[in-house]
Structure 1
Amino acid sequence: MKKSDLLIIIPAYNEEENIENVVNFIQENYSQYDYIVVNDGSIDRTAEICREKGYELLNLPVNLGLAGAFQAGLKYAYEKDYSFAIQFDADGQHLPEFIEPMLKRIREGYDIVIGSRFVRKRKNNSLRMIGSKVLTVAIKMTTKVRISDPTSGMRMFSKPMIKEFAKNLNYGPEPDTVSYLLKNGAKVSEIQVEMEERQYGQSYLNWISSAKYMIKMLISIFFVQNFRKRDN
Structure 2
Amino acid sequence: MKKLIIIPAYNEEPNIVETVARANKLSPDYDVIVINDASTDRTREKCEQNNIPHLNLPINLGIGGAVQTGYRYASRNGYDVAVQVDADGQHNPEFLNEMEKVLIEEDADMIIGSRFLENEGFQSSFMRRIGINFFSGLIKILTGQRITDPTSGLRMAGKKAIKLFSQDYPSDYPEPETDVQLISRGFKVVEIPVIMNERQGGESSISPRKSIYYMIKVTLAIFVEVSRGKGFIWKR
TM norm structure 1: 0.91
Counterpart code for 1:160 = K
Structure 2 Cα separation of the partners of residues 29 and 149 of structure 1 = 24
Structure 2 Cα separation of the partners of residues 75 and 124 of structure 1 = 30
1:1-232 to 2 correspondence within 5 Å?
Answer: 5-108=2-105, 109-121=107-119, 126-167=126-167, 169-171=168-170, 173-223=174-224, 225-227=226-228
Give runs of ≥4 in structure 1 deviating > 4 Å: 122-125, 227-232
Counterpart code for 1:121 = N
Structure 1 Cα separation of the partners of residues 60 and 195 of structure 2 = 29
Counterpart code for 2:188 = K
Q: What 5-or-longer segments of structure 1 have no aligned partner?
A: none
Change (3 A) 1:62 1:125: closer
Counterpart code for 1:212 = Y
Structure 2 Cα separation of the partners of residues 55 and 23 of structure 1 = 8
3-state secondary structure, aligned to 1:205: coil
Change (3 A) 1:230 1:76: farther
Aligned-residue offset at 1:213: 1.1
Q: Check whether the contact 2:140–2:147 (CA below 8 A) recurs between aligned residues.
A: yes
Counterpart code for 1:77 = A
Aligned pair count? Answer: 228
Q: Check whether the contact 2:170–2:177 (CA below 8 A) recurs between aligned residues.
A: no
Structure 2 Cα separation of the partners of residues 230 and 87 of structure 1 = 26
3-state secondary structure, aligned to 2:5: strand
3-state secondary structure, aligned to 2:182: helix
Q: Check whether the contact 1:114–1:152 (CA below 8 A) recurs between aligned residues.
A: yes
Change (3 A) 1:54 1:210: same
Structure 2 Cα separation of the partners of residues 76 and 29 of structure 1 = 22
Deviations 1:2-42 (A, max 9, x none): xx621000000000111011112222343221110010110
Structure 1 Cα separation of the partners of residues 178 and 46 of structure 2 = 33
Tell me the C-alpha RMSD between the 2 structures. 2.1
Counterpart code for 2:159 = K
3-state secondary structure, aligned to 1:176: helix
Aligned-residue offset at 1:219: 1.3
Q: Check whether the contact 2:64–2:169 (CA below 8 A) recurs between aligned residues.
A: no
Greater displacement, 58-67 / 28-37: 28-37
Q: Check whether the contact 2:5–2:30 (CA below 8 A) recurs between aligned residues.
A: yes
TM norm structure 2: 0.90
Fraction of identical pairs, as percent: 45
Q: Check whether the contact 2:9–2:35 (CA below 8 A) recurs between aligned residues.
A: yes
Aligned-residue offset at 1:131: 0.8
Q: What 5-or-longer segments of structure 2 have no aligned partner?
A: none
Structure 1 Cα separation of the partners of residues 41 and 234 of structure 2 = 34
